[in-house]
Structure 1
Amino acid sequence: MKFSDGYWLLREGVTAAHPAQVLDVAETADGGLEIHAPARPVHGRGDLMTGPVLTLAVHTPMPDVIGLTLTHFTGEPPRRPVFALTGADPRPELSHDDEHVSLTSGALSVRVARSGPWQVEFLAHGRVLTASGPQGMGIMRDAATGGHYLREQLDLGVGSAVYGLGERFGPLVRNGQAVDIWNADGGTATEQAYKNVPFYLTDAGYGVFVDHPGRVGFEVGSETVSRVQFSAETQRLTYYVIHGPTPKDILRRYTALTGRPALPPAWSFGLWLSTSFTTSYDEETVTSFIEGMRERELPLSVFHFDCFWMREFQWCDFRWDPRVFPDPEGMLARLKAKGLHVCVWINPYIAQRSPLFAEGKALGHLLRRPDGSVWQWDMWQPGMALVDFTSPAAREWYASHLEALLAQGVDCFKTDFGERVPEDVEWSDGSDPERMHNYYTYLYNRTVFDVLRGHRGEGEAVLFARSATAGSQKFPVHWGGDCEATYASMAESLRGGLSLGLSGFGFWSHDIGGFEGTPTPALFKRWLAFGLLSSHSRLHGSSSYRVPWLFDEESVDVLRHFTRLKLRLMPYLYEAARTAHEEGVPVMRAMVLEFPEDPGCAHLERQYMLGPDLLVAPVFSDEGDVSYYVPDGTWTHHPSGRTVTGPRWVRERHGFLGLPLLVRPGAVLPVGAHADRPDYPHADGVTLRAYGLTRGAQVTVRVADVTFTVVREGDTLRASASEPSAPWALAAGDRVAHAEAGTGFLTLDLPEQDRW
């Protein structure tokens, strides 16, 4: 929310109270600090008789993370829900003198001035990362609405860029933007977002997480252009400053605090095919799609049934429409016999005609208004209500219906919706409606994910979720929502995915070809290349099918080419997935995440790194013209072997079977021996392809349970395998050395062109 009228004035009706000085400081039982700061200087006892006084609690949940809690009135009861955070033993250090009081956690310190103007500084290794100066932190009141807000403003250094705040579809760099953390079903073409996360990351060595699950307003270098402002309507507000120093380090610490993604099963990385939304389909249609894919040698891993697997006006009743699917168990068994996994669409809403509406109403499982009536409206489904996931009994009731589907043979769920959550309601656990609006999706997706994890086992659970908030990254995968069948929408989808990755989410997908409308054959083929070089890959639309032969025969060739490419890259991609699971670093990475020291990467949003070593630049034109930036070093086009040396911009034209896909210099890329499915033994027959290793370089690569080490000695590569139970190979350029099963060492003389 904006409070000012230019630099000098406040908006009409707005009043502000800012901490003026430190009155006193006390150490807390958890090793933190409690500071009382009156809103005007204290010159005598007469100044101690009126307020307000802001209480500032300084604490640390883990090394290199420091939290500040601002409190005005302490009389209100605790408000739910709260984000589930994980801490560690931080062992903070406190220091006091006449000038400052400070707390240090790891390499990060916060320093509060005890004399002179109000100043809170965050430092690392003696360098100020950011600070809150006079009239930054404050209590803001709006007479027109009666609103009471707590606000903070943190300095933004010259040239510093801000990223994150969830999946946002505008420019990747947030500077100059006003962002409301408020989940909405707004498509991919507006400032609204399905996945709002009150966390931003900078390229200046720190990130900030605002620990408030409700509406938080961010003014990123917009209201005050040299500061990031955030505010919430509350009496108590906590935020954490997270030290890096690199963007990857910031993400590692942020996800250690809020949770890291589960590791999706390997089969989920293959191609997903959908019925689409409002198209007409039955088992015969589904079978024709699957057989069409098989006949054309198009590897398929997952088949998805969208909304109309259930009867109209009865979403959700979790019952197959008997008019078109009279034998669901038999159909699912037939699909499973073809080696497919099955996904079905669900949402958290219960339509009035669903048999579950009366049942849920009688049991008290549906969200109610303050007068005790069930909250309902007609948008999306006539008379629909929401499941009250704050109730353990309601969660168990909802989960029981999913269990029945899993018993039939369903493998996973597309958890759609969860954004349109009302405020004129009463939750069963007494949660505050404003705070529950964003948090609802967390409870919804956690409920479904827990069912899958309990039924399928650890490592087999996967969702296809649309809505999210902080912490929802624990329940992958998330997809980008309702995009249009245009190049502009393809680009905005990519921006959203990269922004989500910079907000702690490890896995992301999108509707290949666009959801609304039908793509042209050219657009469809360009989107296929982008989609198959994403974390997860799904063919899905609204009113038209997405099987490639309905576009043209070349689309079949393009889909086959890029699907097989992705499947051969599975040894590499699944290790990138492990990194997302273990460290919180996403599979699809904005260029700034890998190259924070390169100013040329700060604003790049039409290309990305897929894992640590592959640069992908999707093509956004029929003609195939593409411009992309190459960071320092000699990069190699995969699979052609052509090289390009950066740092520089490159312009190229690509046919539909190509796009810029470059391997980072000094990388060893594990390439699999199979191109028919994603869940094969990745180390069996793997080829380690070395690119531009300098003399003396040593690279370690993990593939499944095997660790490979490749060393360049002079003009020779030497490789070793920790557990050589299967055949493997070492390659550079056009030279390949093969090892039989049980062979732990290989050597390879480099080709002449690779001896630079």
Structure 2
Amino acid sequence: MKFTDGFWLKRKGVSVYSPAEVRDYEIKENTVILYAPVVKINHRGQTLQGPLLTLEISSPAKDIIKIESWHYKKKLSIFPEFELNIDGNFTPEIEEREGEIIFKSGKTSVIISKEDFSLTYYYESRLLTKSGAGQMGYITTEDSGSYYREQLDLAVGECVYGLGERFSAFVKNGQTVDIWNEDGGTSSEQSYKNIPFYVTNRGYGIYVNHPEKVSFEVASEAVSRVQFSVPGEKLEYFVVGGKDLKEVISNYTSLTGRPSLPPAWSFGLWLTTSFTTNYDENTVSSFVDGMAERDIPLRVFHFDCFWMKEYEWCNFEWDKDVFPDPVNMLKRLKQKGLKICVWINPYISQKSKLFDEAADNGYLIKLENGEPWQWDLWQPGMGIVDFTNPDACKWFAGKLNALIDMGVDCFKTDFGERIPVNAVYNNGADPLKMHNYYTYLYNKVVYELLEERFGKKEAILFARSATVGSQKFPVHWGGDCVSKYESMGESLRGGLSLCMSGFGFWSHDISGFENTASPDLYKRWSAFGLLSTHSRLHGSSSYRVPWLFDEESVDVVRYFSKLKCSLMPYLYSVACETANTGVPAMRAMILEFTKDRACDYLDSQYMLGGSLLVAPVFRPDGTVDYYLPKVKTGENASWTNFLSNERVEGGTWQYETHSFMSLPLMVRPNSIIAAGSNENVPDYNYLEGTVLHIFELAENEPASTVIYDMEGEAGGNVSAVRSGNKVSITVNGLKDYSVVMRNVGSIGELTGAVLEKDSLGVRLVAEKGSNEITFVIL
């Protein structure tokens, strides 16, 4: 929201009251409390009127600084509030000097200037940002109430990322971003997943701890600042430091919740009925059998909305006219090795037999007169489940429990964005704050039910809406995209922005949701989708099985599905790293290469984990341009295409043309990629029959990797180092493994393994019981 008229003037009716000095302060319980008048006090008579702004500076955990500032304190206690993990054992350092106070949390600090009020933030000696004179402020308006804002400096060349799943430009500079969940598709400034957290290429993050609408002006109203504002009398935000962007995101997710680890099977291919298509068990079986007949690995089948009878969503009952025997149908599908997902949402149609049950028991959001809140958008006369009511949560979970008893394994938790602000909640929650927060409660109820039934390591959703903390309930998908190359690009931008906002895993509707893709787009999007963390074929009004596009589509989906299954030892290790650290599995280039300025604006390629670079093809003619950062690993700095084995020098832009069976899938120098022994399912023993692909070993710079089992436990570890022409590889925890040395030429003086041929390099098959291989490169 903008409050100024250019740089010098305020908009009509707007008054801004900013801290002018620290008139008084106290230090209490590891907190600095500041009392800041909005004018310089020159004589005691000026203290007789305000405003007098109060600030509290504290730290919830190492390297995170919390700033609370308010005008009238009596209006502060309104819930809901985001769930935060506070480290009660952490103690910050506070130092008083003449004219300033230094508050230090780990290596992150703020210097408070008392005479001319300012807050200047550092990580060690590195300047992060500053709030100077006139930047923080309490604001009154003539027609829209009061607001609280902060403005934080941006340096020359500083780029802002995140703020949730945003489909606009990846770098947010110049944009106005309102944190307000909307069902707006992927082609506008609206977003299903709004997160009031951003990071910059200067190496810090800002989290605004407000569930209600937060308005960001990112180098827009004031072009050298990020402004954020909220309605009301108080503002609370956190400055998150770290040695690099990955540690910043790790610290943020330590505060708001780590992404949970999805089960290994969920990384396989998902296929759906699509939305408005006609389908019954015969249709479903024809899709499933057709995939098997064509040797395309399929792991999850999803039933979209019309598994329930029209006008009756959600009644959580199968439409008997279409699926007369759902229990045995699900048994038959599961006998084919599939997991089952069904679509749900938190809305109850008036025609559903559950509506009266929910309304009579107070399970729906209400109007002020006590009647259920209703409207006709999406389902006629629908009400919305009130998840602030514990009894409503149990009731809703009970309906899903019956589906689990039938054989359902997970739920697509759709919707949750269009939540009214003129509603009354069971626990008295503020409806403005509940608009964004609602999705957290909705998905939490469903996710915790799945944890209860299947265990934490088997629980997974396919969710569309999200807010702060929703990363704990993966997986999230990108919403309603269009079948165009441009929409494929905007989907990727949305995913990268979401993953810069604390989310670890992300998916999208392969080939687009609306309309039907051309065969070339279907094939290009399939390669991209099957090199995302999660992969789903889904559409609106037409089926998405590949043979309906052309025969080559079958080949493409088969090839990349099998490729993904074979890469699961690497991909699942990346997923475990994400669950342990919060660093996303799908990473914008800037996250992995923060010091490479060429990566600042890259939004059409990404890192899948720390070692694989993916550059999707966004053009019908197969041309693609992408950038390979220069990796400083001694003399060897070449990337290698995992598919073709072609070596390409780093620090260069590449311009290539790819067939539908290819794309740039580049391996970072000095990397070890663990591949598996099974290309037909994603969940298998990653510690047996493992193939270790080793790339561009640098002189005396060890490469290493950890391989996890399907329980998320570290079961194997591998290290490799080259000294001159001698290479030593140490392997622990793997059984019947082999090593493929990429682009090394000939090998002599081999111990611990025997040589075999391999199309991609030299294969070394470990001798039984050997955990060390050494050889000389000729």
TM-score of the superposed pair, with normalisation by structure 1? 0.98
- Superposed displacement of residue 126, structure 1: 2.6
- Superposed displacement of residue 732, structure 1: 3.1
Tell me which residue corresponds to 1:235.
233
- What letter is aligned with 1:101? I
Is the contact made by 2:524 and 2:617 (CA closer than 8 Å) also made in structure 1? Answer: yes
The superposition leaves residues 210-254 of structure 1 with CA deviations (integer Å, 9 ceiling, x where unpaired) of 000110000001000000000000212210001123110110100
CA distance in 2 between partners of 1:378 and 1:322 (Å): 25
Tell me which residue corresponds to 2:117.
118
- Superposed displacement of residue 118, structure 1: 1.8
Tell me which residue corresponds to 2:683.
679
Tell me which residue corresponds to 1:655.
659
The superposition leaves residues 264-300 of structure 1 with CA deviations (integer Å, 9 ceiling, x where unpaired) of 0000000000000000000000000000000000000
Tell me which residue corresponds to 1:255.
253
> In structure 1, the residue corresponding to 2:74 is in which secondary structure?
coil
> In structure 2, the residue corresponding to 1:738 is in which secondary structure?
strand
Is the contact made by 2:698 and 2:721 (CA closer than 8 Å) also made in structure 1? Answer: no
Tell me which residue corresponds to 2:521.
523
> In structure 1, the residue corresponding to 2:426 is in which secondary structure?
coil
- What letter is aligned with 2:268? G
> In structure 1, the residue corresponding to 2:555 is in which secondary structure?
helix
Tell me which residue corresponds to 2:159.
161
Tell me which residue corresponds to 2:604.
606
CA distance in 2 between partners of 1:223 and 1:435 (Å): 25
Tell me which residue corresponds to 1:719.
729
> In structure 2, the residue corresponding to 1:627 is in which secondary structure?
strand
- Superposed displacement of residue 741, structure 1: 5.1
- Superposed displacement of residue 740, structure 1: 4.8
CA distance in 1 between partners of 2:92 and 2:205 (Å): 19
CA distance in 2 between partners of 1:91 and 1:311 (Å): 57
**1:622 pairs with 2:626:** no
Tell me which residue corresponds to 1:575.
573
- Superposed displacement of residue 108, structure 1: 1.0
RMSD: 1.0
> In structure 2, the residue corresponding to 1:405 is in which secondary structure?
helix
The superposition leaves residues 175-213 of structure 1 with CA deviations (integer Å, 9 ceiling, x where unpaired) of 111000000000000000000000000111211000001
The superposition leaves residues 75-95 of structure 1 with CA deviations (integer Å, 9 ceiling, x where unpaired) of 125110001111223311111
CA distance in 2 between partners of 1:357 and 1:500 (Å): 35
Tell me which residue corresponds to 1:9.
9
Is the contact made by 1:731 and 1:748 (CA closer than 8 Å) also made in structure 2? Answer: no
Tell me which residue corresponds to 2:672.
668
**1:640 pairs with 2:644:** yes
- Superposed displacement of residue 303, structure 1: 0.2
CA distance in 1 between partners of 2:536 and 2:125 (Å): 48
CA distance in 1 between partners of 2:707 and 2:8 (Å): 60
CA distance in 2 between partners of 1:724 and 1:373 (Å): 62
- What letter is aligned with 1:68? I
**1:510 pairs with 2:508:** yes
Tell me which residue corresponds to 1:739.
766
Is the contact made by 2:645 and 2:742 (CA closer than 8 Å) also made in structure 1? Answer: no
TM-score of the superposed pair, with normalisation by structure 2? 0.95
CA distance in 1 between partners of 2:162 and 2:320 (Å): 45
Tell me which residue corresponds to 1:588.
586
> In structure 2, the residue corresponding to 1:528 is in which secondary structure?
helix
Count, aligned residues: 748
- Superposed displacement of residue 710, structure 1: 1.8
Is the contact made by 1:728 and 1:740 (CA closer than 8 Å) also made in structure 2? Answer: no
C-alpha distance 650-732 of structure 1, shift in aligned 2 (>3 A): closer
Tell me which residue corresponds to 1:22.
22
Tell me which residue corresponds to 1:314.
312
**1:699 pairs with 2:703:** yes
C-alpha distance 15-537 of structure 1, shift in aligned 2 (>3 A): same
Is the contact made by 2:688 and 2:734 (CA closer than 8 Å) also made in structure 1? Answer: no
Please, which moves more after superposition, 363-372 or 696-705? 696-705
- Superposed displacement of residue 700, structure 1: 2.1
Tell me which residue corresponds to 2:753.
none
Tell me which residue corresponds to 1:495.
493
- Superposed displacement of residue 749, structure 1: 3.9
- Superposed displacement of residue 144, structure 1: 1.5
> In structure 2, the residue corresponding to 1:279 is in which secondary structure?
coil
- What letter is aligned with 1:660? P
- Superposed displacement of residue 726, structure 1: 4.1
- What letter is aligned with 2:257? G
The superposition leaves residues 578-620 of structure 1 with CA deviations (integer Å, 9 ceiling, x where unpaired) of 1110001111100000000000000000000011111111001
CA distance in 2 between partners of 1:364 and 1:748 (Å): 73
Is the contact made by 2:121 and 2:130 (CA closer than 8 Å) also made in structure 1? Answer: yes
Is the contact made by 1:737 and 1:747 (CA closer than 8 Å) also made in structure 2? Answer: no
After superposition, residues 39-438 of structure 1 pair within 5 angstroms as 39-76=38-75, 78-88=77-87, 89-115=89-115, 117-145=116-144, 147-438=145-436
CA distance in 1 between partners of 2:734 and 2:245 (Å): 36
CA distance in 2 between partners of 1:159 and 1:245 (Å): 19
Is the contact made by 1:724 and 1:742 (CA closer than 8 Å) also made in structure 2? Answer: no
> In structure 2, the residue corresponding to 1:721 is in which secondary structure?
strand
CA distance in 2 between partners of 1:77 and 1:251 (Å): 28
> In structure 2, the residue corresponding to 1:459 is in which secondary structure?
helix
> In structure 1, the residue corresponding to 2:75 is in which secondary structure?
coil
Tell me which residue corresponds to 1:689.
693
The superposition leaves residues 638-659 of structure 1 with CA deviations (integer Å, 9 ceiling, x where unpaired) of 1211111021111000010011
Tell me which residue corresponds to 2:747.
none
Is the contact made by 1:347 and 1:415 (CA closer than 8 Å) also made in structure 2? Answer: yes
- Superposed displacement of residue 748, structure 1: 4.1
- What letter is aligned with 2:20? A
C-alpha distance 730-636 of structure 1, shift in aligned 2 (>3 A): closer
**1:457 pairs with 2:455:** yes
CA distance in 1 between partners of 2:526 and 2:541 (Å): 19
- What letter is aligned with 1:684? E
Is the contact made by 1:490 and 1:527 (CA closer than 8 Å) also made in structure 2? Answer: yes
> In structure 2, the residue corresponding to 1:629 is in which secondary structure?
strand
C-alpha distance 651-724 of structure 1, shift in aligned 2 (>3 A): closer
CA distance in 1 between partners of 2:288 and 2:735 (Å): 35
- What letter is aligned with 1:651? Y
Is the contact made by 2:687 and 2:733 (CA closer than 8 Å) also made in structure 1? Answer: no
Identity value in percent:
52
Is the contact made by 1:687 and 1:731 (CA closer than 8 Å) also made in structure 2? Answer: no
Residue ranges of structure 2 left out of the alignment (5+ in a row): 631-636, 709-714, 744-760
CA distance in 1 between partners of 2:553 and 2:123 (Å): 53
Is the contact made by 1:480 and 1:511 (CA closer than 8 Å) also made in structure 2? Answer: yes
- Superposed displacement of residue 383, structure 1: 0.4
CA distance in 1 between partners of 2:241 and 2:209 (Å): 16
- Superposed displacement of residue 730, structure 1: 4.7
